Structure 1
Amino acid sequence: MNIENYYSTRKNVFERVQDANTATKVLMSLMMACFTGIMAQIIIPLPWTPVPVTAQTFAVLCSGLFLGKKYGCLSQVLYVVLGVAFIPWFGGMTGGVETLLGSTGGFLVGFVIASYFVGAITEKYAHARNFTRMATVIGVANFALIYIPGLLGLALWLSLTQGATVGIVDLLMMGLVPFIAGDIVKILGAASVSKVCLPKD
């Protein structure tokens, strides 16, 4: 395949996804929710924090890239709702409302917000789909839109379950700092997916 055929195929596939009917888009959202659940099982527990390292953030970011704001967001809503209802596909094969109300519940909320944000930028600004710009967009989604509700939820959970207010430094050491290196890898990976798979016009 020459470069022109590659560009043409990439654009055609992207447009077919965007122009698919509602039922197909909902099915793609469900498939992306399943992918998120699979990636959530790649897990590294950390002894000093109830928040584990997982690979699911990569799937969250890709959901916005491939499905756009509406259906990328829907994929993460499905992931959360089905996980709470009856599918144990959160990190470590957990599920139920106790996970949503637990130490990582705020991160689940952040997944929905981040997928919408990435999808909105991807849909509206074709020039933002290159590696550098998309790495910036995804970095904002990851470190602001996922971690802010995640850290707030973690702080609330610690306060309610342990009856103690955690200082900002301790909170960051539990919910942010250990994950930075891995998140950078996932951000660069998602930006690479954007560069390779999404048209730039």
Structure 2
Amino acid sequence: MNINDFYTTRKNVFDKLQSSNTATKILMSLLMACFTGVMAQVVIPLPWTPVPITAQTFAVLAAGLILGKRYGALSQILYIVIGILFVPWFGEMTGGLDIVLGSTCGYFLGFIIASYFIGSITEKYAGSRKFKRAIAVIGVANFALIYIPGLAGLALWNYLTYGTMLSISSLLFMGLVPFIFGDIVKILGLGAVSKVFLPKE
């Protein structure tokens, strides 16, 4: 297969995915929710924060990139709802409403927002799927749309649990700084996925 055949196949697959019926898209959202649950089991606990390092944000960001805004966001809604009601697939095989309302509550909300944002940009602007633009879009989604509600939720949880407000430096050290390097790797990886597998026109 030459490069032109690859580009043609890539576009045909993408177009078929976009034009598939609602039932198929919901199934793909469910599969992405499962992928998120699997990636959430890649966990590195940190002794100074209740927020662990996990691989699940790779799946979260991929959801919007691959499924688009509606079904990317739906995949994360399904991930959260199924994790509350049925399957203990949050980090370290946990589940239930208490986890979603705990120290990582804001991150769960950010998952939905970030996947919707990425999908809305990459659906509307094919040029945003190019490597540099893709990492910019994914980077904004990751560091703004996941971490802003994530840090706010962590601060609120700490206040309600311990009755004290965290300083800005403590909050960042608990909920952002330890994750930066891994997030950059994930963003670059997804930029490469977009460059190779998604059409640019």
Bin for the TM-score computed over the shorter chain: over 0.9
**How far apart, in 2, do the equivalents of 1:112 and 1:87 lie?**
19
Kindly provide the CA deviation profile for residues 95-134 of structure 1, in whole angstroms up to 9, marking residues without a partner as x.
Answer: 1000111001110100000000000011000011011000
What CA distance in whole angstroms lies between the structure 2 residues aligned with 1:88 and 1:49? Answer: 21
Aligned identity (percent) is: 69
The amino acid that maps onto 2:191 is A
* 2: CA distance, partners of 1:105 / 1:88: 16
Paired residues for 1:40-51 under 5 Å: 40-51=40-51
Do structure 1's residue 12 and structure 2's residue 12 form an aligned pair? yes
Q: Which runs of 5+ in 2 are unaligned?
A: none
* Structure 2 partner of 1:155: 155
Cα deviation, residue 86, structure 1 = 1.7
Determine the structure 1 residue equivalent to 2:129. 129
Q: Matches of 1:144 and 1:3 in 2, distance apart? A: 36
Q: Any residues of structure 2 matched to 1:140-151 within 5 Å, and which?
A: 140-151=140-151
Q: Deviations over 1:147-197 (max 9, x none)?
A: 000000000000001111111110000000000000000010111111011
What is the TM-score of this pair, normalised by structure 2?
A: 0.99
Q: Which runs of 4+ in 1 moved over 2 A?
A: none
TM-score (ref. length: structure 1)? 0.99
**Residue deviations 1:26-71 (CA, integer Å, cap 9, x gap):** 0000000000000000010011100000000000111011110000
Residue identity in the other structure for 2:4: E
The 3-state SS of whatever aligns with 2:34 is: helix
Once the 2 structures are TM-superposed, how far is the Cα of residue 84 of structure 1 from its aligned partner? 1.0
Separation in 2 of the partners of 1:76 and 1:82? 10
| Alignment partners' CA distance in 1, 2:84 and 2:189 | 28
Unaligned ranges ≥5, structure 1: none
1:42 maps to amino acid: V
Provide the aligned C-alpha RMSD in A: 0.5
Aligned mates of 2:113, 2:200 — CA distance in 1: 24
Determine the C-alpha separation between the residues in 1 that align with 2:91 and 2:10.
33
Q: Which amino acid aligns with 2:164?
A: A
Distance 2:139 2:66 in 1: 17
Equivalence for 2:191: 191
Q: Which residue of 2 aligns with 1:2?
A: 2
Distance 1:117 1:130 in 2: 16
1:160-171 equivalences under 5 Å are 160-171=160-171
Q: Is 2:36 aligned against 1:36?
A: yes
- Cα distance in 2 between the residues matched to 1:75 and 1:185: 22
- Per-residue deviation, residues 61-84 of structure 1 (Å, max 9, x unmatched): 110111100000100000011111
SS of residue in 2 equivalent to 1:102: coil
Aligned residue number for residue 72 of structure 1? 72
Q: Residue type of the partner of 1:148?
A: I
